[in-house]
Amino acid sequence: MMEAMGAAISGLEAQQTMLNTTASNLANVDTIGYKSQETSFVDALSQTIAGGSNQTAQNAGSDPEQVGLGVSVGSIVNNMGQGSDQATGIATDLAIQGNGFFQVASSTAATGGPSTNDAQSTPAGTSSPELNSSAIEYTRAGNFQVSPNGYLTTQSGQYVVGVAADPTTGEPVGANTAPGSSNAPLPIQIPSDASDVAIGTNGEVTYSENGTQQVAGYIQLANFNNDAGLSRDGGSLWSATTASGAAQTFDVPGGSGMGSVASGELESSNVDMATEFANMIDAQNGYEADSKVITTADQMLQTLVQMPQG
């Protein structure tokens, strides 16, 4: 009976984890860029009552006899499938249509680093925030904004990482290079007197100034060999882990297998409510069944204890 109770308790814990995952998915059904999670179970160790035997001259042999000792959570997998796009009409709202993540970073100093605009001048300007290349995070939530100083940022104030445009050709510079010491991550800056700000499908950020169209820079995307191995940091942000590996590909949208970006749209959560409700019912039924096993085993133990002593 104690083995039955132990197995049932492990079932209760596993079903609780499944319900927790389902609850988190449903709570984030309207979260921009949210990726759902899926829980899977594996059986625990089994107790061997009798081992199997080979065929002999007298019999054909027998299979091993084992009793399972319960269940455990095998994995909680990130479903990185793309969510549907929803139109907002806001130029700085961006949805990646395909592979890739936006890169965002905080600053390590108020001044000292060039922006995508400053990088076009010689020497580069030094009025922009210096971004921390060792703590870049990744997101699919493209609900960006323009800060009071003209930088393209997340809603929490992190800077969107970009690359400068060549002042002669207007083409992106260093788009395939990872942000680092040799290629400092650059924030995208739009002058305060700019108008008609627009972002193209290739991540080109343009604006009008004194009647002339200018290029503020390009948004740079990153991609991973195993994006399901990324770690959730909260705030719709992800960070690289040993499971995901470091980002392997960098480029502007539409290049090197990256998806394009759609301005005026946001990627919705990829949570499927029908699936989540089905998972919730499964977890409830499994929890009730395991609870019944514990009740039954307890009743059997009580019967054993109360047996008359002869």
Q: What are phi and psi of 184, to 5 degrees?
A: -60, 135
Residues 73 and 206 in one domain: no
Distance CA(96)–CA(76), nearest Å, equals 25
Distance CA(159)–CA(245), nearest Å, equals 23
For 253, the domain range is: 85-267
Q: Structural domain tally of the chain?
A: 2
Within the chain, how many helices (H) and strands (E) appear?
Answer: 2, 23
Residues 114 and 154 in one domain: yes
* 55 domain residue, yes or no: no
Residues 89 and 237 in one domain: yes
pLDDT digits (tens, 9 = 90+) for 280-306: 999 999 999 999 999 998 888 888 888
Residues 243 and 275 in one domain: no
pLDDT digits (tens, 9 = 90+) for 229-239: 999 999 999 99
Residues 234 and 129 in one domain: yes
Q: What is the pLDDT of residue 111?
A: 59
Q: Name the stretches of the chain with pLDDT < 50.
A: 121-126
Residues 276 and 218 in one domain: no
Residues 17 and 34 in one domain: yes
Residues 231 and 99 in one domain: yes
Annotate 132-155 with DSSP letters as a single string: -GGG-EEES--B-EE-TTSBEE-T
Q: Within its chain, how far is the Cα of 75 from the centroid? A: 15
* 310 domain residue, yes or no: no
Q: What is the pLDDT of residue 127?
A: 60
Q: What is the pLDDT of residue 297?
A: 86
Residues 96 and 126 in one domain: yes
Residues 115 and 190 in one domain: yes
* 32 domain residue, yes or no: yes
Q: What is the pLDDT of residue 198?
A: 96
User: Which tokens is 177 given?
Assistant: 């290079």
